[in-house]
Chain A
Amino acid sequence: MEEIEIPSSAEAPSEVRGSEASGRLAGASEWGRTIEGIRTASPFHANAWIEAAAAHTGAQVLRWMMLSGEEPIGGCPLYLMRRRGLRLLASPAPGSSAMYSGPVWKDLDALKESTRLRHLEALADDLDDLAARARAQVIMLRLAPESRDVRPFLWRGYSPRIRYTYRVRLDRAEDDLLGSFSRTARQLVRKAASVFRIREGAPEDGRAIFDLLRRRFEAQGLRTVLSKAYIDSVLRGLGPGRSRVLVAERDSRLSNAIVTLSTDVREYWWIGFKGDDTSAGSSELLLWEAMRRARGTGKTSFELIGAEDPRLIEFKAKFNPDLWRCYELVRGRGLGRPALLMRRRTRSD
């Protein structure tokens, strides 16, 4: 999409209101320094992800930074794009295969409630203002589980949708972790360990892994939004310290694989597929191995992204994860309103 110049606001709404919180657009370097200091930030907030996602989806990136005085206290990556004839301001970018993104804050929950709520209201006002300046007709936010309070957005007319994800706690002994899995999962892991060899993926595995991904989606009558170039770009950008590819080999042939992304505290299962008959148990073994390795590098939790698809709930629930709620918020402006009404009708009928 051709880059749109966003006219600057004479005064940001947060300044007009007199809130101690304000916001502005930031460059990549400042963004990177700010996000690095936020424990709750996900890989989907990293510059490498943002740039790869923008290139893959054709979106224009807007790095919105929240400030208290002059000090950065949070950030919200936004993507401006056209979809079905409408201009959309979104976080994350649709089609980027990120379940959520949205704002992240430094220690928001440690603030007194009155300040915390005012910060959230300042952000909601600023996003409205930014959407108006960008002439976006739809605003769509998928928030991380840590964003529990969506009232400021509800008060401004956003429609909420409740979503879920799963997280497995890693802050316990390895035996306790394995012992918390269902008996079926433990049996599958044990059996698969005698059949498959697990190793770190090498660059030359990339094509085979992508073909496996495409075949598994096609077998289910689905099409993946991912391209090999996009996956490569994300892995290259994040680097080996923030990403991991594990493959399962059987008789020296690649049978299954997973890709995880990570921060200092959490590893996220980004790409993976249910095993077919010849690779039964390999998905469970790969996930167990990924959790073991994440635990070994000090991560305190492992996210099995997404807990809504009934086909996958039974698979993921075997690892006895904790259920986390997250929110999707959508609002239409102008022509966006009837378009969203049609979308809601189509989804609910």
Chain B
Amino acid sequence: MLLGYDGPDATVGIPVFLSRRLGFRLVLSPPRGYGIPFLGPLFRIRTAERELTRYLRGREFVKAFLSDARIGRTSIAHLSLGPWLVDVRPYLDAGFQVRPRYTYYLDLAGGHDALRAGMHKRLRNRLKGEASRFTIREGSPDDVEWVLDSVHARYEEKGREMRVPRDYLAHLARALPTGVLRTFVAESDGRLASGSVCLNHRGTLFGWLGMHRPDPSHPFANEVLLDGILSWASSSGYARFDLMGANTPGVAHFKTGFNPRLDTYADATRIPFPVRVVRDLARTRAG
């Protein structure tokens, strides 16, 4: 965890994960493969801060970050910057390639009825027809295993490796305060049909892991589960539900049925010139 100080006061912090690849230092925030969409720096903001102050502060941070001996100017850096960081100019000026990324969220202040009214008509009708086939409940530790198994199975189907270690969730459940991790499942005829491991933080519920392509015998299980979670969250006092990710077409189209709002964050990558040469040569050889 790197902290930046203004005199005695810490004004910025960034969790950084270091490793090596191809002989180069790899600097990540967040680490890849653990289902964390963004991290990057968090600044302590003073109220009524002027634009020039904000800009210069961002520039000073990037300069100090790259000058830090633990980071180094020759490292490959990959930072996913949170939606709170609108100004990525200092990263562009420092040679980062920055790509916009998106997520969806729902405002829960109006309650479940308002959410249902805002949904796409086809989804609303589907929920009316299908909801009674499922029971939505909070999940047990066994149910968490089932969710992880279904996520792994989906990755295997696509020929991809899921890098989230199996004991990661168990470790998180032990390390985090009670109630931060919440699991919800949809059951039909006594069998699990869909599940989602959610994270709870400061009034927002995040739909983190799960709800991958359901069993063909329950094609709408994910929609019913998500609707059930929204109902629970809005009646439990949550202000917002973060659908976590809107970057691939299939996933984005599924989520649009719930009429969410779009939020933007950014991926910033810096690859030193020698590494770019090696990478481009490797790509050329691969044809």
Binding site for B on A (CB under 8 A): 112-114, 117, 148-151, 154-155, 160, 162, 164, 166, 182, 307-308, 310, 313-314, 317-318, 320-323, 325, 327, 348-349
Contact = CB atoms under 8 A, between A and B. Distances in A.
Given A114-B253, A117-B256, A151-B246, A162 B88 contact: yes
A117 B89 contact: no
7 contacts: A113-B261, A114-B120, A114-B253, A114-B257, A162-B92, A308-B89, A325-B86
Interface string B34-58: 0000000000000000111011000
B266 A162 contact: yes
Nearest to A164: B89
B15 interface: no
B237 interface: no
A112 B259 contact: yes
Contacts of B52: 182, 313-314, 317-318, 320
B259 A162 contact: no
B247 interface: yes
A113 B256 contact: yes
A251 to B, nearest CB: 33
Contacts of B264: 148, 325
Contacts of B118: 112
Contact of B87 (A117, A182, A323, A349): A323
A160 B267 CA distance: 12
A267 B277 CA distance: 46
B102 interface: yes
B88 to A, nearest CB: 6
Interface of B: 50-52, 54-55, 86-89, 92-93, 95, 97-100, 102, 104, 118, 120, 246-247, 249, 252-253, 256-262, 264, 266, 273
A118 to B, nearest CB: 9
A151 B247 contact: yes
Nearest to A310: B93
A160 B257 contact: no
A112 B100 contact: no
Contacts of B54: 323
Given A149-B102, A317-B55, A318-B52, A155 B249 contact: yes
A149 B89 CA distance: 19
Contacts of B99: 154, 160
Contacts of B55: 313, 317
Nearest to A114: B256
B93 to A, nearest CB: 7
Nearest to A319: B51
A36 to B, nearest CB: 28
A151 B266 contact: no
A114 B118 CA distance: 11
Nearest to A152: B249
A323 B259 CA distance: 27
Nearest to A117: B256
Given A151-B246, A317-B51, A321-B51, A113 B259 contact: yes
Contacts of A151: 102, 246-247, 249, 252
Given A182-B52, A314-B52, A317-B55, A162 B100 contact: yes
A147 to B, nearest CB: 11
Nearest to B249: A155
